[in-house]
Structure 1
Amino acid sequence: MRIAGNPKPYAIVGITKHGSELARKLASAMPDADLYLSEKFLQKGDEASVYSFPTNVRLLLETMFHRYEGWILVVSLGAVVRMTAPLLKDKKVDPAVVVVDDKAKFAISVLSGHLGGANALTERVAEILGATPVVTTASDVSATIAVDLLGREFGWKIDDDRQVTPASAAVVNEEPVAVIQETGEPNWWKRQTPIPKQIGVFPGLEEARSARPEGFNAVLWVTDRLLTEDELSIAPYRVVYRPKSLVVGLGCNRGTSFEEIENVVLTTLDRLGLSWKSVSCIATITLKQDEEGLLALSEKYGWPLLAYTPEQLNSVSIPNPSETVFKFTGAYGVSEPAALLAACTDHLLLEKTASGNVTISVARIEFGGGKADHITGKAGEVWA
């Protein structure tokens, strides 16, 4: 058996003559996939581009199952079910599994349709092969909201997933559901059809309560705020999504410890009633771009570090300019203008506040019109 040492996202598997032909066709159209064929159907020159396994594919699956994001198997559905069943752990970590029949009549989403992306992968495979996609997930066939995927492409995180299942049931059973969106990307509805009429979309709690005083069966709440029990009482089932909507501007004395910076950030956000899970990035001046405490904070929480030059910072009007700060940094402020620049806004949720060796400001990103499109990247990266 020859397997990939550095696997691509997907694996394509063929075990029969016709299945191998289909697998080759798929692989030629999917550069993000590794091709695995039974040793019996290898051809001259395959050594460079095709991986192999003995006649029984079970050993390949046992060895590589969780090393791929998704599997496309030109194998009978029953066989795939039997082989993969002992390998399953949890829907949050199991890979997507798509099955294609030997004549490419159907591409079937078998496992991890939503979280694992099997439904989307099924559509992709079906389009390449001219097959009929078979997707049985209720929210997909009903053209409604997929509760566990809402805002996923934007990086929204579910605060607590324990009520995802009953909230999903309320959605697919066409019960009254409220979507309350206070912040975050507005273009989360991607289907061509309108949002189902039993789902109301509101900018805030008061609007939702006014629209339906008797309440809702479930609420999907998109917010960076820490919600109260009274607010959540609008529905028996609640799913709270944390969009990446907050920017934390930071200044600090040289050598300030990671622990002190972290404590200031977390306690400040908590005092403001904001969730740290909604922090998109941290922002500072280029003089601090190598500060170990800031880099450690960026690394631990996955918050990209944006660093601006004094000239960039001075281009922003701030409420608390300081001649002292200018004397040492060349900028009239650090935390305030850095937060405003990174959030593409002119409004601060928190003006400059000093705490020990740290100065902190907080701003909310203004979504819409592409203003916040630059807030991307990896933790630890520094942008000027």
Structure 2
Amino acid sequence: MKIAIISVSDKGKDLASKLKEKLDDDSTIIRTDLYHKNVRKNFPILFNEYDAIIAIMASGILIRSIASLIESKVTDPAILNIDDNGNFVISTLSGHLGGANKLTHKIAELINATPVITTSTDVNKRLGIDVLAKDLYLSIDDSKEILFFNKAILDEKKLNFKINPDGNFDYLFDYLNNVTLEMDVSFDYSKEVDADEIHVALDGHEIILKERKIVVGIGCRRGKEFEKIQEGLFKSIDELNIHKSRINMLASAEIKKDEAGILQLSKELDIPVNFVEIDKLKLFESRDVQKSDFVYSKFGIYGVCEPSALITAGFDSKLIYKKTSYDGVTISIALSKY
């Protein structure tokens, strides 16, 4: 998640700086940038550039600043509102698909504040269909149906999930078994459903959830043991609450195509690995990729795990886990746009 923090007062600016320090240590936060004042000028830019905006200011200023920018719960960024004293963190916009509710809890814990959540499914301890999609990294084909299904969940109606019997949906079963919120579901199996889709139906309504591609990028020292590479991968996906069955692909640079540990990991997890050509890595540019002068001095490229993951995940993909080192192993995770 890429976050912008914008403040208007000196006290708010100090709080923003302290919060950035904490967020920079979080591997799931790709980048945190600070902005101060110039609210009218900055908000239109931030709205399209960041996954989340944390506004440290009075709610009236925030609401007036974003009112004309709001378009859709599918595309609008998560918006959080914090008072200057850091007493309350309010999930203001895009609580579910944008991730504002979860981010609100994270930020409140970091600054010892009270989180404020107002979405109906959350306050009634119910699992929204859009929350399930967000948590499992699934796209939704028709966002207009979200309201119908969430209302049905609040009314304690049973939803029918139709899936392909040849697909691996361990991640879905594990999630439904362990989530603390409630959702009543039944399952049907059909080969007419694509193996990467979940069809949810009730009373003539249907919504299709489709897996977005999750790619784990891997870099490592030559000859690194399989067990150490696997350990790094598991630690990374645990931080994101991603079940191993939800990983679609592994990725690394072609200089690692003979790396025994990576090849064994691919075989053990039954997940294909893509080794990206050096020329593609040399040409790849992204502000979100961390550049390593050491890697460049050896291979002529600035990184392995992050660019490999992003290239493999496809055009307009994004990092959801920045390069993190685990005893000679580097791991990053990219998510496709669709």
TM-score using structure 2 length: 0.55
After superposition, the C-alpha distances for 1:27-47 in whole angstroms (9 at most, x for unaligned) are 121113112224xxxxxxxxx
- Alignment partner for residue 193 of structure 1, among 174, 180, 187? 180
Rg: which structure is higher?
Answer: 1
Bigger Cα displacement from structure 2, 96-105 vs 135-144:
135-144
Give yes or no for contact 1:14–1:75 (8 Å, CA) kept in 2.
Answer: yes
Between the two structures, name the one with larger relative contact order (CA 8 Å, sep ≥ 6).
2
Alignment correspondent of 1:110: 92
After superposition, the C-alpha distances for 1:99-150 in whole angstroms (9 at most, x for unaligned) are 0012222100001111111111111111111111011112222222221232
Alignment correspondent of 1:224: 195
Give yes or no for contact 1:10–1:71 (8 Å, CA) kept in 2.
Answer: yes
- Alignment partner for residue 30 of structure 1, among 6, 23, 36? 23
Measure the CA separation in 2 of the matches of 1:279 and 1:123.
26
Matched residue pairs, number?
228
Alignment correspondent of 2:316: none
Give yes or no for contact 2:247–2:271 (8 Å, CA) kept in 1.
Answer: no
The 5 Å alignment of 1:100-179 reads 100-179=82-161
- Alignment partner for residue 17 of structure 1, among 10, 22, 25? 10
Shift in alpha-carbon separation, 1:225–1:189, aligned structure 2, 3 A: closer
What is the root-mean-square deviation in Å for CA atoms of aligned residues?
4.3
After superposition, the C-alpha distances for 1:250-279 in whole angstroms (9 at most, x for unaligned) are xxxxxxxxxxxxxxxxxxxxxxxxxxxx99
The 5 Å alignment of 1:42-53 reads none
Measure the CA separation in 1 of the matches of 2:271 and 2:176.
26
Measure the CA separation in 2 of the matches of 1:75 and 1:190.
40
Give yes or no for contact 2:161–2:200 (8 Å, CA) kept in 1.
Answer: no
Alignment correspondent of 1:210: none
Letter matched to residue 208 of structure 2 = V
TM-score using structure 1 length: 0.49
Gaps of at least 5 residues in structure 1 are 1-7, 39-55, 206-221, 246-277, 283-289, 291-306, 309-337, 344-375
After superposition, the C-alpha distances for 1:349-377 in whole angstroms (9 at most, x for unaligned) are xxxxxxxxxxxxxxxxxxxxxxxxxxx94
Gaps of at least 5 residues in structure 2 are 25-30, 214-245, 259-266, 273-307, 314-338
Alignment partner of 1:235 is 2:203: yes
Alignment correspondent of 2:68: 86
SS in 2 for 1:239: strand
Alignment correspondent of 2:323: none
Measure the CA separation in 2 of the matches of 1:20 and 1:127.
19
SS in 2 for 1:78: helix
The 5 Å alignment of 1:1-384 reads 9-31=2-24, 32-38=31-37, 56-180=38-162, 183=167, 184=169, 185=171, 186-189=173-176, 193=180, 195-196=182-183, 199-202=184-187, 204=189, 224=195, 235-243=203-211, 280=248, 342=271, 377-378=309-310, 380=312
